[in-house]
Structure 1
Amino acid sequence: MMALNWLQIGLAKRDLQDMEGALEALERAVAETATNPVAAFAYAQVLFETGRNAVSAFERATALDPANPHLIRTYAAALAAEGEAERAQSILMDTLNQHPQWLDGHKSLATLRVAIGRRDEFDESYHRAIAALPDSLSLRLAHVHLLSTARAWDDARACVQEAIHRLGPNRGLEIARLSIESESNGPKGQDPNLFETVADVVDPGLDLCRVRHAFRCGAIDAALARAETYRNTRQARLFWPYLSLGWRLTNNPAAAWLDGSGDDYVCAIDLGLSLDELADLAANLRDLHTAQAPYLEQSVKGGTQTDRQLFFRPIPILQRVREKITGAVHTFLDDLPAPREGHPLLSPPRDRPILFEGSWSVLLKAGGFHSVHTHPMGWISSALHVELPSETNAGPAPAGYLQFGEAPPELNLGLGPTHQLAPKAGTLVLFPSTHWHRTVPIEAGERLSLAFDIRQPA
């Protein structure tokens, strides 16, 4: 078979999440055409995605395609994963010195620095690049977005003001300024007319901020009206959770149509894991918790989260658990009510292969918890509890519980949880990705879990 065919087969198997099959095919492709940069990159990428040592493969790939920014970014991630974080930073910084407007590179370096505990200098490359290119609007907006994600509101606000002083009035900077004012609950954070200066701008990200702002100001009807416009769009999954809040606040029966009554769409399934299997799973998961701090965009507070897809790793216990989980998801789908047109959980087809949008582990320390959030990239989300603190260490109930339905506290809506589940080791909890959920902090001990999102089928 020609090498090009092996490359195509490898990429197709990767798309189907048959990672071992993809690796085998791509290895053949590289063996038959050692100078093909696409095959070399794909092979290194799959090595990295499956948790294998990939640095040497990336070095061969970069020799063939030294100017490919996507390759350099993943090469740096592989170096960091294999304990060479300083070298990873050096490669990213060298490339950024040559290409200061490489926005993905800035974000990768900032993310790496947070993960290795260097939060105090996580955005240093942005400052350097802006000093070199002070008139670059894209650089300044990317920096502001990073600071906003990190909830470093004072720094974000200062960066916007500096950019306006340098570049003059600008629509993008005005949107950033207003979004920061709203999300940080600044002096005008309760002004219902805050976004009037950009009333003509139609943008999903801005509209999501407008919806949140309307809720914060008590303008429930306005929030609902704007969110409703996205029901039949590709961005609908961003807005369903907010429609749920608005419908509950207005006693609209659509809330029950969307979320069910109580725990209709929340299912707890015992995976039948033995104590030895749970111990094996816990030991392997703990080995993967190498980060020093949670990533900026995650809901984890007081703990860490693993990187890359857990279920792509050829670790026997993980693959056994993946198989059990796939069966549990099929059971969950079989037990759902009949399809409902337009419903985010019930309308997609249920006879397609189960694909994972992401799979990861979370280790929470004393005081750790998940803040209120949803999973807009998923269709069905989950929590598999693996190790739990004793009841004494966890604290009085509902410490450590998984709670659903509570509104984000920063919106000041006063909507508490609709239902909750006590965690149990070996029990998988499945629920719609649009459900608001959080975990209640534990007082002491550690809580180890595994989670994933199921990709919505096309």
Structure 2
Amino acid sequence: MSTADAHLRRAVALRDSQDLAGALDAIREAASAAPGDANVALGVAQVTFEAGLDAADLYGRAAELAPDRLDLQRSRASALAAEGRQPEAEELLEALLARHPAWIDGHRCLCGMRATAGEVDFARSFRSAVAREPENFGLRMAWFHVLATARLWDEARAVVDEAEALLGERQASLLGKLFIASESGEEAANPSLFDRVEHVQDLGLDIARVRHFLRGGQIERARDLCVRHMGQPTMRAFWPYASLAWRLLDDPRAQWLDAGMRHVRAFDLDFRAEELAALAETLRRLHTMRQPWHEQSVRGGTQTERPLLLRIDPVIASARARIEAAVRRYIDELPDHDPAHPLLAAPRKGLLFSGSWSVRLRPGGFHSVHTHPMGWLSSALYVTVPEREQRGAAPAGHLRFGTPPPELALPLEAYGEVVPVPGRLALFPSTMWHGTVPFADGERMTIAFDIVPNLKA
């Protein structure tokens, strides 16, 4: 094994264990040993980016060594935007899309940049690409999905209609039309809306069908569809909906799964006031976007990009140490192992962050009701909260659990709430429905993250 390969393997192992400082040292050693290796150059850029440092020019160096790799160029554009160089990022993506109009990941990246900058016509790159490749059905459906995620129903419907007028109805366009009909509310009460695709096996379709069945009062059908995924990895997307169906049917499995607020814990961490102030100032510098991504739960605020708790920053590292200690305590105090339960079945020896970010809400801001299907444990660490006279009467600003998504119009009450206090960390199962109540004035800033078991521990 060459010296470069040895350093590269060590860098990968350290990155996998989420030691970004060690990984960065190792990958730089690999680059010194193999300065012309494109994969090593990409590794330097990637680890630098994940560590919260400027990486756009490093991606540029890697791109010189591997000029045909579009995925690398997409990462370079994301790094440029993260460094406040969004005009350069957009120019790069526009030039690449001019040469590769069917590059869907490039379109999505560009759309995300423009949407978070507050642009109304954020998806315009698709329009020009479809004009160049009018028979590219997949490109048209990617355009549809970007618009549907933003809940721009009329625009999304127009894209599907044009695709079918030119190329005929296909399964993807049919599913798109059914999704709009249900989620927009136009045919939410139609019990047979999804019957013609009963035979289609598709994860996204099954989620759409479950939501439609719940919304339309077909609770048994929703339950049966959820249960069909039990024992499979896909079930993590259906546990929250199974909970709703079981609660509506008075099935004891709802109590087994959620246990009310039993698995929701609040820890008041030992931050001094000046430490929270320093943490708040650090986080504010990272909130550079004007609007959240459309697929996020944030309403009236912004969310940071990049893995927040992996950043090489002493203020964030101090917060991470406190967080990890509280998470370890939460895990150690869980009830006995249950091999069928999504929270209690997981191994408990080691843990990893599967995502971490900060959310800064403006007056009137809130989180829509949602879950975290990619996590095991989820969280909210309050860094700043509005003063009592600012936020309004309780429960303004509270973190609420168990309330269904309001668009499903289900007669279920919340299990309970966590009151926001600076330095308080709420931990809860990722399968639990949760959202926040809007507040009147002030700033509400949190650190949030998902935890997954470290299967290598």
* Range into which the TM-score falls when normalised by the shorter chain: over 0.9
- C-alpha distance in 2, partners of 1:295/1:360? 13
Tell me the SS of whatever aligns to 2:233. Answer: coil
- C-alpha distance in 2, partners of 1:457/1:238? 20
Tell me the SS of whatever aligns to 1:355. Answer: strand
Q: Which residue of 2 aligns with 1:412?
A: 409
Q: Which residue of 1 aligns with 2:276?
A: 278
Q: Which residue of 2 aligns with 1:11?
A: 12
Q: Quick one: which of 339, 342, 345 aligns to 2:343?
A: 345
Q: Quick one: which of 384, 392, 404 aligns to 1:395?
A: 392
- C-alpha distance in 2, partners of 1:24/1:121? 42
- C-alpha distance in 1, partners of 2:254/2:316? 37
Deviations, residues 346-376 of structure 1 (Å, cap 9, x unaligned): 0011012x21011111110110000000001
CA contact (8 A) 1:378 1:456 kept: no
Matched, 1:169 2:169: yes
- C-alpha distance in 1, partners of 2:130/2:56? 31
1:283 Cα shift? 0.7
Deviations, residues 411-440 of structure 1 (Å, cap 9, x unaligned): 111212111111111010000000000010
Number of aligned positions between the proteins:
454
Q: Quick one: which of 348, 365, 368 aligns to 2:365?
A: 368
- C-alpha distance in 2, partners of 1:31/1:86? 32
Q: Which residue of 1 aligns with 2:151?
A: 151
- C-alpha distance in 1, partners of 2:121/2:43? 32
- C-alpha distance in 2, partners of 1:121/1:169? 27
1:7 Cα shift? 1.2
Q: How does 1:81-120 map onto structure 2 within 5 Å?
A: 81-118=82-119, 120=120
- C-alpha distance in 2, partners of 1:83/1:308? 14
Q: How does 1:28-43 map onto structure 2 within 5 Å?
A: 28-43=29-44
Tell me the amino acid that sits aligned with residue 69 of structure 1.
L
Tell me the amino acid that sits aligned with residue 291 of structure 2.
A
1:189 Cα shift? 2.4
1:27 Cα shift? 0.4
CA contact (8 A) 2:349 2:453 kept: no
Q: Which residue of 2 aligns with 1:139?
A: 139
1:117 Cα shift? 2.1
Q: Which residue of 2 aligns with 1:178?
A: 178
Q: Which residue of 2 aligns with 1:332?
A: 330
Tell me the amino acid that sits aligned with residue 179 of structure 2.
S
Identity over aligned residues, as a percent?
46
Deviations, residues 184-235 of structure 1 (Å, cap 9, x unaligned): 111x221111012212101111011000000011000000000101111111
Tell me the SS of whatever aligns to 2:130. Answer: helix
Q: Which residue of 1 aligns with 2:55?
A: 54
Tell me the amino acid that sits aligned with residue 257 of structure 2.
L
Tell me the SS of whatever aligns to 2:238. Answer: helix
1:10 Cα shift? 1.0
- C-alpha distance in 2, partners of 1:249/1:272? 41
Q: Which residue of 2 aligns with 1:265?
A: 263
Q: Which residue of 1 aligns with 2:289?
A: 291
1:279 Cα shift? 0.7
CA contact (8 A) 1:268 1:427 kept: yes
Tell me the amino acid that sits aligned with residue 221 of structure 1.
E
- C-alpha distance in 1, partners of 2:334/2:83? 43
Deviations, residues 263-305 of structure 1 (Å, cap 9, x unaligned): 1000001111111111111110111110011111100000001
Matched, 1:433 2:430: yes
CA contact (8 A) 2:348 2:453 kept: no
1:455 Cα shift? 1.8
TM-score, normalised relative to structure 1: 0.98
Q: Is there any run of 5+ residues in structure 1 with no aligned partner, and where?
A: none
1:457 Cα shift? 4.3
Tell me the amino acid that sits aligned with residue 416 of structure 2.
H
Alignment RMSD, CA only? Answer: 1.0
Deviations, residues 88-118 of structure 1 (Å, cap 9, x unaligned): 0011111111111111111000001112222
Q: How does 1:441-456 map onto structure 2 within 5 Å?
A: 441-456=438-453
- C-alpha distance in 2, partners of 1:121/1:185? 24
Q: Quick one: which of 361, 378, 387 aligns to 1:381?
A: 378
Q: Which residue of 2 aligns with 1:66?
A: 67
Deviations, residues 372-404 of structure 1 (Å, cap 9, x unaligned): 000011000000001111111100000000000
Deviations, residues 223-251 of structure 1 (Å, cap 9, x unaligned): 00001011111111100000000111111
- C-alpha distance in 2, partners of 1:191/1:95? 44
Tell me the SS of whatever aligns to 1:429. Answer: strand
- C-alpha distance in 2, partners of 1:8/1:102? 31
Instruction: Point out 4+ residue stretches in structure 1 off by more than 3 angstroms.
Output: none
Tell me the SS of whatever aligns to 1:121. Answer: coil
Q: Is there any run of 5+ residues in structure 2 with no aligned partner, and where?
A: none
Q: Which residue of 2 aligns with 1:321?
A: 319
Tell me the SS of whatever aligns to 2:300. Answer: strand
Q: How does 1:154-303 map onto structure 2 within 5 Å?
A: 154-186=154-186, 188-260=187-259, 262-303=260-301
CA contact (8 A) 2:360 2:446 kept: yes
TM-score, normalised relative to structure 2: 0.98
1:121 Cα shift? 2.1
Tell me the amino acid that sits aligned with residue 265 of structure 1.
H
